[in-house]
Amino acid sequence: MNKDAKIYVAGHRGMAGSAIVRNLEEKGYTNIIKRTSNELNLIRQEDVEKFFEDEKPEYVFLAAAKVGGIHANNTYPAEFIYNNLMIESNVIHSAYKSNVKKLLFLGSSCIYPKMASQPIKEEYLLTGALEPTNEAYAIAKISGIELCKFYRKQYGCDFISAMPTNLYGINDNFDLETSHVLPALIRKFHEAKVNNDKNVVMWGTGKPRREFLYVDDLADACVHLMNNYSGEMHVNVGTGEDIEIGELARIIQKVVGFNGEIVNDLSKPDGTPRKLLDVSFLESTGWKYKMELESGIERVYQWYLQYKIS
C-alpha cells in the first residue's frame, strides 16, 4: 500500500479497528476513511453500496463486527449471526463491485472445531463440531472466510482473511454482560478492590487454557499481511502460547492489587477446553508478536483507570 492510498477501516471505533487505524497512522498512511455506525449502517446493503461508489477505497480492513463473550453469544445468537453475516456480505460484495485492490477480513479463532487438535492449524477449519456457546458467531465468521475465498476463485479478487486469537487492549469492552474474560476480570478485580470485597467470583473451573494477543500486535500483523500476503488460506494470528484462565486471573489480581480470594462459580460454563493457534505460517512471513501478557494487562488497566473510571 502506498502511503497516500485510500484505505477504509470498517469498525474504526472498535478495539481492533481503532488499533489498525493507530498502526496505519504510525506507519505514515495519510488517507484513512472512517465512518461511524450512525454515518454508515453496514447492515444496509444499499447504504454500503452507495458508500463504496462514492468513496472508492483502494484497500479495506473489515474489522466491523458484533462481538461479545460467552454470555452474550449464548443469549443473542440470532443477532450475532444476522448482523455479522450482513456486515460481511455487504462490505465484501461492494468491495468486489467497486474494484477494491485488496481487502482483509478479520475473523476469530472460534471458527475452529471445539475439540480440534492443539495447536490449531489453519487446515482444521470445518473438520468438526463447533463450540455450542458461540456457534452463531463462528458460523458467521466462517462465512466471511468463504466469501473471500470464493470471490477470489470466481472474480480474482485479492481478498484475504486473518484469524486472531483472543484479543485484549485499549478500547476493550468492560461490560460484565457482554465482555470477554480478560476485560471482565479486570473490572471485577478493580471493583472488588475499591469495595474492599473479600473475594472475586470467576466463571467455571479456571482450567480452560486460552491464548491472548495484545490488539496493537494484531493491528501490526494485519498491516503486515496486507502488504506481504496474498493467498486463499486464512492466516492464524496469535502468540503461539497459552495460559490457564485461573493463572490469568492471578496475574490480573496482581496487576490490580486485589488482596482477597478467587472463588469459582462451577454452575457457569467453561467453554472450549483449549484454544491455541498454530502461528507458524504467519511467523514464516516474517511477523511475530511483541507484547508480553503481564505488560499488556498493565497497559490496559492503566487505560481503564484513566478512561473508564469516572
Exposure string for 170-197, b = 16+ CB within 10 A, e = fewer: bbbbbeeebbbbbbbbbbbbbebbeeee
Q: How far apart are CA 7 and CA 21, in angstroms?
A: 10
Q: Per this entry, what is the length of the chain?
A: 310
Q: Does residue 109 have a known ligand-binding role?
A: yes
141 is in an annotated binding site: yes
DSSP string, 260-290: SEEEEETTS---SSEE-B--HHHHHTT----
169 annotated as ligand-binding: no
d(Cα 236, Cα 266) in Å, to the nearest integer? Answer: 31
Residue 12 marked as a ligand binder: yes
Q: Is 167 annotated as a binding residue?
A: yes
Is 17 part of any known ligand binding site?
yes
Annotated binding residue at 28?
no
Annotated active-site positions, please?
137
84 carries a ligand binding annotation = no
- The annotation status of 254 as a binding-site residue, yes or no, is no
CA distances (Å), origin 251, targets 44, 193, 241, 248:
43, 15, 16, 5
On the CB side of 84, CA atoms within 13 Å amount to 29
- Residue stretches of the annotated binding site for substrate: 188, 203, 210, 270
- Residue stretches of the annotated binding site: 11-17, 106-109, 141, 164-167, 180, 188, 203, 210, 270
- Residue stretches of the annotated binding site for NADP(+): 11-17, 106-109, 141, 164-167, 180
